[in-house]
Amino acid sequence: MCPEAINVLDERSAEIFVLRLLRENGPMSTMAIEKAARKEHKRCPDQTVLFLAKMKKKGLIMGEASIEKRGWLWWVQ
């Protein structure tokens, strides 16, 4: 049995994927986003935290460090 290939998304597809995840699930940690992507055999074009930071800089998502989640928490307005 061969494991399914990981689909490395282009930048726009990855943005759409992350926005969908956050709209459907509400605020998510970086690890939760990575886990959801892995479950769908997808990967961001960069390291997840770097990609999410770029999305934040573009104003597509919001994010802040969370002591409770021990990392970054991301959401859409």
Beta bridge partners of 63: 74
CA distance 55 to 43: 15
The domain in which residue 48 lies consists of: 7-75
Residues 6+ apart with CB under 8 A from 39: none
Q: What is the CATH number of the domain that holds 71?
A: 1.10.10.10
By the 8 A CB rule, do 41 and 6 touch?
yes
Reported confidence tier of residue 53, pLDDT bands at 50, 70, 90: very high
Q: Considering the domain boundaries, does residue 1 fall inside one?
A: no
Q: What is the pTM of this model?
A: 0.87
Within-domain flag for 16? yes
Question: How many domains does one find in the chain?
Answer: 1
Residue 43 forms part of a structural domain: yes
Provide the token pair at 32.
């939760």
Residue 51 lies inside a defined structural domain of this protein: yes
Which pLDDT tens digit goes with each residue over 7-48?
888 999 999 999 999 999 999 999 999 999 999 999 888 899
